[in-house]
Structure 1
């Protein structure tokens, strides 16, 4: 039986493209009304328009998740649009590639600011509304990089390890409030981030496309990449599961 989110409302940060877009549309397909939030307001509106074609209410919100006032405004705007908040998906993220020894302090702060502080601010702002709704679901998008390190990605790995730890701790704090907190740890999904990584992984005269295909074959036991739609399906499951909390679920074709 298909899982239904009829009558539920959600926001998705980082919703204008990639994994965030896949999750926003999957939630809408399952019946939820969705606020698509992103720094890219035009991109967010395009995804919201797609959600409306599925028969759902959807709004686009511009937000910088590193700024508490903007995050709080995003939560208020979601409740004003839909009357309540049931599901939060904290998917906004950035990446950088640099050896730690030469990494600029500002680059460390940029990645940790969006990926870790942004999740903290979103969870903090959403909790009162989730309690007001009688419970809810917090879904944080981490990464398999939050479970094992990779060279030249120390700041990215640190930020995603932080999300996994935050998820585990917060799940225990709110377990008696009817709020579950889980993390999705994507493997190799062909998003803008992996386009950058493919460039960095090139060998000699190898093209970025060849580096991408080699990465898929070398790193994924199943030999095929994951998709944004895969992440959306997992998000829908987490949005309906009442007894699953504090988990960081790898959806990675067997990498971890």
Structure 2
């Protein structure tokens, strides 16, 4: 029996670690061949090697998604090395944790250049080969922070709100092209954002509380299911979007019930 993404080529930005790695591996398990894109080439090469060991084709590409020339090259290399571009997951993102009073113009530009401008540039480049073949799936990684505001994350929330609005708008532009455009909105995941040395669990811990206890308390309080989500959970939704013909202009939460809109 053939796999649902057999013969399809997927590009995953930020694919060398964290969410991107989980998404890339889920897409490969569903039969896809993968271009793993990351700013750190060695990270991309490791994930591509893991995917090849699973029996799929994979290449590693280095790119800064906030630079138009590098984004164009990323798309061209994917098609040159793997033969097409059918699915694009625009996952690359950055974060810093600061109050608005602490934020500098450079902090704002850094987060928004990667998270919002990067999605725009990637979608702009990716849609062209998809239009020519009359089929494509664009999947942007937003966040529940693209639907809710959080203290110390105003700049990050602004970037992710932008991704949600951009995704819905582009989906309606491409409505008759055979291309769908959707967004994944991850909830709480044990990445550097939450569980790193300067993460939210550390910043938002109570007096005398350890970071580990803060991390557990926030899961208990914020997630109705009581446990954090995983990169593989995001990969499951990516596979769903990639195989669904009539699902477009959606921003779907994978958050254990944290949000309801």
* Structure 1 residue corresponding to 2:214, chosen from 211, 216, 238: 211
The equivalences for 1:164-183 within 5 A come to 164-183=164-183
| Whole-angstrom distance in 2 between the partners of 1:15 and 1:192 | 15
- Map 1:1-256 to 2 at 5 A: 4-195=4-195, 196-256=199-259
5+ unaligned residues in a row in structure 1: which ranges? none
Write the distance in 2 (CA, Å) between the matches of 1:70 and 1:243: 31
1 CA distance for matches of 2:76 and 2:255?
Answer: 34
State the distance in 1 between where 2:48 and 2:214 align.
33
* 1:188–1:252 Cα contact (<8 Å) kept: yes
Q: Secondary structure of the residue that 1:100 maps to in structure 2?
A: coil
* Secondary structure of 2:101's aligned partner: helix
Residue 101 of structure 1 aligns to a residue in which SS?
coil
C-alpha separation in 2, matches of 1:96 and 1:129? 34
- What secondary structure does 1:175 align onto? coil
Moved over 3 A (4+): none
**CA distance change for structure 1 residues 205 and 2 in 2, over 3 Å: closer, same or farther?**
farther
Unaligned 5+ segments in structure 2 are none
Shift of 1:154: 0.4
**Whole-angstrom CA distance in 1 between matches of 2:207 and 2:133:** 55
TM-score (norm 1): 0.98
Residues 3 and 31 of structure 2 are in contact (CA less than 8 Å); yes or no, is this contact kept in structure 1?
A: no
Q: Distance in 2 between matches of 1:3 and 1:119?
A: 28
Change (3 A) 1:206 1:138: same
Aligned counterparts of 1:197 and 1:2: Cα–Cα separation in 2: 43
User: Whole-Å Cα distance in 1 between the matches of residues 95 and 220 of structure 2?
Assistant: 22
Counterpart of 1:198 in 2: which secondary structure?
helix
* RMSD, aligned α-carbons: 1.1
CA drift of 1:193 comes to: 1.7
Give the match's secondary structure for 1:184.
strand
- Per the TM alignment, residue 2 of structure 1 is displaced from its structure 2 partner at its CA by 8.8
Could you report, residue by residue, the CA deviation over 1:97-141 in whole angstroms, capped at 9, with x for unpaired residues? 111122100000000011000000000011111112221000000
